[in-house]
Structure formats: C-alpha cells, structure tokens
Amino acid sequence: MKNTRNVLVDADACPNQIKKAILEISKSHEYKVFFIASYSHATDRYENIEWVLVDAEPEAVDLYIVNHTFEGNIVITQDHALASLLVSKGVYAISPRGKQYREEEMPSMLQSRHFAKKLRKAGQRTRGPSRFTDHDVKRFCEEFERILSQSDV
C-alpha cells in the first residue's frame, strides 16, 4: 500500500453519500480506495474498492490508518486526533464535510475536543455535529476534487 495514489477512508462513520462520491472522484484520478472499518461496521459493498476489516476495538481503525499511510496519501476521517497524527506525516486529511485539516489548526482543535470531553464527563451536555446536508456533500466533493487535482501535478 506504499503508494501516494491511495485514498484511505475511516469508514466506520463515513456517510454513504460521501463513500459514493469518493469512489466516483477517485476513479477519474486513478486513485486506489481503501475503506477501513471494524468487523462490526462493514456493511456496504461497492465495486472497485478494497475493504480492510480490523478488530472492533475502540481505536483499531485509527491505528491501522496511521500505520498504513504515507506522505501524499489522502485520508477521509471525522476524527480530529487521527487527523493530527496524519497531517504531521504529510498526509492530506479531510473530513466528510469537506474540511481539510491543517497542521497549524490541530492544537486548538484538539484542545476544544478535550474541553468538550471534560464537560461531558462532568455531566454537562455538549452539542453534537449538525445534521449532514446536501451542501456538506457538495463542499466535500469540491475539496476532495481540489486535493486530488493538486496531487496529480
């Protein structure tokens, strides 16, 4: 898998609309797509992709992705902690909502994540993500296409 023309997807929490978009856009740029999921989450089947199934342990998907990505790879994930590990390796990390994670943003993102976790642990409620919309899909497709086109050069 040591190839810069790989897309790895943290598939456990990736919306189906985004999975389909990843396949369509990746194909036109000749990128190979790997969906990484725990055994308990792998339900969708698509042609021309490779599923990598890992144990159902809490961080198994993240560990697999960290250990199998290389500079220039592209990873789709919602996990800020995983993204922080990847961008420091020269990996493009993008959320299913089309936000490209950048190394200079990671400290504040991780601090906010930690603070929200502390609030929840103390019994307070925090807001979850807003409902996934067609606008999110469009934004993802535009950003993903931009990253792939930039990588093609």
Per residue in 80-106, pLDDT tens? 889 999 999 999 999 999 999 987 776
Looking at domain 6-152, does it have CATH number 3.40.50?
yes
Per-residue pLDDT for 44 more than 70? no
pLDDT > 70: percent of the chain? 79
Q: Is the pTM of this model over 0.85?
A: no
Residues forming a β-bridge with 74 = 7, 92
Query: What token pair was written down for 88?
Result: 């420091």
Identity at 102, one-letter amino acid code: R
Distance CA 87, CA 100 (A): 10
Mean pLDDT check: name the lowest of 1-10, 84-93, 102-111: 102-111
Per-residue pLDDT for 110 more than 60? no
Per-residue pLDDT for 108 more than 70? no
| pLDDT value of residue 130 | 80
Q: By C-alpha distance, which of 99, 71, 95, 137 is closest to 9?
A: 95
**Domain boundaries in the chain?**
6-152
Query: CA geometry: angle at 94 spanning 148 and 114, to 5°?
Result: 165
Per residue in 46-65, pLDDT tens? 666 688 889 888 889 999 99
Per-residue pLDDT for 11 more than 70? yes
